Amino acid sequence: MGETSTVVRDSSLRNGKLQLRREARTNQAGQVLDPAALDLVARLHARLEPERRELLAAREARQRDYDAGGLPGYLSPDDSVARQAAADWRIAPLPADLLTRRVEITGPVSDPKMVINMLSRTEAGDRADAAMLDFEDSMKPAWENVVRGIENLRGAVDGTLSFTKPGKGGEPAREYRIDPDDMPLLMVRVRGLHLDETNVMIDGAPVAAGLFDLTLSAWHTARRLMDQGKTPKYYVPKCEHHLEARWWNRLFSLVEEALSLPAGSLRATFLIETLPAAFQMEEILWELRERAAGLNVGRWDKIFSDIKVLREHPDRVLADRGSISLNRPWMKSYAMRLVRICHKHGAFGMGGMSAFTPGSTAELREEQTKKVVEDKAFEASIGHDGCWVSHPYFIGPAMSAFPRTNQLDVIPDIDERPDLLPVGGEPRTLDGLRKNVRVGIAYMHGWNRDIGCVAWDDLMEDLATLEISRVQVWQWLRHGIALDDGTPVTRELVGRIFDEESARIEGEVQAAMSGKGGDVEREVQRFADAREDAEAIFTEASFRPFLTCRSDPAGMDLDSRRARLRAEGTQASGTQAPL
């Protein structure tokens, strides 16, 4: 399908020509894309897009330096921004509803049932303190998902969001509704700086997806939240530099100005989930001081970034992804430094994700719960104010690790500038390779159906864990490392593991669907397609910085979407040699 755009309306301001792809002009889109909101998108694009492109070009330049042997590091203490960031200052006082965030639950904003579950109490009576409705890692940025996400967000704020699950086999339909009088703090995570929303164009150029998400979310809900006595609260992902934080702060300020909101009304937590940002977290917080709520240890994306940034450094080839957590010195130092900096300046230091989905047996669930409590107790012990979970089942166990409202008074004892560079090493195992391959197949199976997170092998796998799996296989191939048993990692070995895991998954699908109806052959073929896509992306010659940097055009068929995604690999920038 072609990618031509159709003019919806031309802005009368100095915005350029605003265009919406023809296939994106659905009835549902018409309910949320107010003409005045699109005018605002156009104005903000005109003000901020040139600088965004410069910031993305600067990322590429830094990566070329890393590929040539350079290493990320701290700003010079004599740098003016570094001096200001290290001085004695405090963020703007936190509103009352941002002072308790012991457990935050996350999930895709596009799924109304999941949103309702995140905003509701469990059968055990547990409720998260906050819910992050996600336009990013857990949501495939298909146009229908984006539009539905805005609609769900609006319904959540209005207290009207509902969902009907159709009955099956004579069972009655089930109704899901939120209780507007018993809801957690509502937050929105927008898409990252690198992502384009290709369905909204201005003078033929796509708008920044994060700008679009923030503008439409604030347009529909910021004033309503404030009228309810609540704080409009956002998460921002994938920041790599304090100048990027400055760009985001300008965007927030311009949105406030356009909506006639007092300065600093929109509050934000930034995820520190890239290796370059780990060295600039204090400078990033300083740039956001008028609206900061805190920083977050985005540990999974951080592992992805550790490998990606240093992918050409043979002495820093990392161990199995499953063996890396806050148990590694550079990871623990990164987490403790984040808490120290946040609390020093009056901001929250949020912990990472527990990605379990409830196991199928009581014994497995008990084991998972023990691991969640241990992980969260450790985070609490080093001063974190709260953590993330991906499933409501684990809200209560995670909450038990945080008995205090917050820990803003805890200042971890750690050097101001610890060593944050990842260290290569073992274990590097065949089981680790299998895990990466298996996650790749499972995730691409969901991605091809416009699903951005999948429950798989008792874990919630989202884009971050797909990216870790992808970059690790790529790096092991790139350097031809030997596994702990001496087996060299070659394309032939990776291909064999893809064969074996694909056959294993086929058997699992047939066993799971046997006697339950459904088109088994179609599902097997879907997994075969996913295997083909995952293997191609995991082993492509030039490493793409992200799985994708653009949303799919609305209305594009599956075969075209798969081909389009695969083609992004041939456009990847970088100086590394082919595998």
Q: What is the pLDDT of residues 13-35, one digit of tens each?
A: 345 788 999 999 999 999 999 99
Count of alpha carbons within 13 Å of 120, Cβ hemisphere only?
Answer: 16
Q: CA–CA separation, 534 vs 435, rounded Å?
A: 13
134: tokens are: 């996600």
**Alpha-carbon distances of 468 from 34, 441, 462, 493, rounded to whole Å:** 38, 13, 10, 19
Amino acid at 123: E
Q: Is the dihedral of CA 236, 149, 300, 94 positive or negative?
A: positive
Q: 491-513 vs 430-447: helix axis angle to the nearest 10?
A: 60
Q: CA–CA separation, 407 vs 100, rounded Å?
A: 10
Residue bearing the bigger pLDDT, 504 or 167: 504
**Alpha-carbon distances of 16 from 44, 47, 201, rounded to whole Å:** 11, 11, 10
pTM score, whole prediction? 0.95
**Range scoring the smallest mean pLDDT among 142-156, 160-174, 305-319, 529-543:** 160-174
Can you give the pLDDT at residue 573?
A: 47
Q: CA–CA separation, 420 vs 331, rounded Å?
A: 7
Reported in sequence order, the residue ranges of 160-224 that DSSP labels E, i.e. its strands, are 162-165, 174-177, 185-189, 196-202, 205-208
Q: CA–CA separation, 457 vs 444, rounded Å?
A: 15
* 7 pLDDT more than 90: no
Q: CA–CA separation, 236 vs 248, rounded Å?
A: 8
pLDDT band at 578 (very low <50, low <70, confident <90, very high): low
pLDDT band at 3 (very low <50, low <70, confident <90, very high): very low
- Model pLDDT for residues 455-487, shown as the tens digit of each residue: 999 999 999 999 999 999 999 999 999 999 999
- Model pLDDT for residues 423-436, shown as the tens digit of each residue: 999 999 999 999 99
**Alpha-carbon distances of 310 from 55, 280, 503, rounded to whole Å:** 20, 17, 33
**Alpha-carbon distances of 232 from 33, 187, 431, rounded to whole Å:** 20, 7, 44
- Model pLDDT for residues 374-406, shown as the tens digit of each residue: 999 999 999 999 999 999 999 999 999 999 999
The CA-CA-CA angle for residues 266, 270, 272, to 5°, reads 175
Can you give the pLDDT at residue 15?
A: 56
* 238 pLDDT more than 60: yes
Active site residues: 189, 462
Can you give the pLDDT at residue 357?
A: 93
DSSP 187: E
Q: In this structure, are residues 229 and 254 in contact, taking their beta carbons and an 8 Å threshold?
A: no
421: tokens are: 């560079």
DSSP 69: T
Can you give the pLDDT at residue 167?
A: 83
Once rounded to an integer, what is the mean pLDDT over residues 48-62? 98
**Alpha-carbon distances of 76 from 82, 280, 281, 289, rounded to whole Å:** 7, 11, 14, 21
Q: In this structure, are residues 386 and 401 in contact, taking their beta carbons and an 8 Å threshold?
A: no
Q: Which domains does the chain have, with CATH numbers?
A: 43-85+94-163+174-400 (3.20.20.360), 430-539 (1.20.1220.12)
Can you give the pLDDT at residue 52?
A: 98
Can you give the pLDDT at residue 34?
A: 94
Pairing of the two strands 267-272 and 233-236: parallel
